[in-house]
Amino acid sequence: MAESTALPLVLLAEQFARLPGIGMKSAQRLAYYVMGMSDEDTKAFCDAVMNAHSSVHMCSVCMNFTEKELCPICADESRDRGVICAVESPKDIAAFERTREYKGVYHVLHGLISPMDGVTPENLKIKELLDRIAAGGVREVIMATNPTVEGEATAMYVSRLVKPLGVKVTRLAFGLPVGGTLEYADEVTLFKALENRSEI
């Protein structure tokens, strides 16, 4: 931003630019937008940020974000505690819940192993997962990390620690996305779809 811009606006734009997926141009536009907001709207926005940050913490069991001691899923008596779906982040839980088919519980790892970004296994909630399994009653752990290099590495790492505890470890299936076309499938996905073909 040029010298003609008021300093608080420059500082605000810099704050917006620190958020993921927001470049300097968008950050400037957002800063100018805030100038046009009413006092009430501005306060409501800041209150929402501070409130979410202060009142939301991790579920003591599955590490999902919640306001209470237990998240709604861990508190739900009807969920099958014998199956744990291990995911990278809380938003992945929302994706699984949308399927309305999964009746087990979750465990949020809060990241994926990525030595390039300085994320080691110690930074993830792996110990908490092993503690849950050690407490007993768990039959299966579904590794539901993304099908990326980091997601695969994390799934392999966690499975090697979980298997010796006598628990079945599974991985999400690879294949063609439903509604997709063969033409646009990449070769690795197509190979996986071929490899994992099932009889009809």
What residue ranges bind a second copy (CB under 8 A)?
Answer: 1-9, 11-12, 14-15, 18-21, 26, 28-35, 37, 39, 41-46, 48-53, 55-56, 64-67, 71-73, 89-91, 93-94, 97-98
Nearer to a second copy, 11 or 194 (CB): 11
If residue 102 lies in a helix (H) or strand (E), which one and from where to where? none
CB of residue 163 to a second copy, shortest distance in Å: 28
In 3-state terms, what secondary structure has residue 137? coil
CB of residue 192 to a second copy, shortest distance in Å: 26
CB of residue 46 to a second copy, shortest distance in Å: 4
Contact status, residue 62 vs residue 71, Cβ threshold 8 Å: yes
CB of residue 26 to a second copy, shortest distance in Å: 6
Nearer to a second copy, 4 or 181 (CB): 4
In 3-state terms, what secondary structure has residue 167? coil
Nearer to a second copy, 67 or 117 (CB): 67
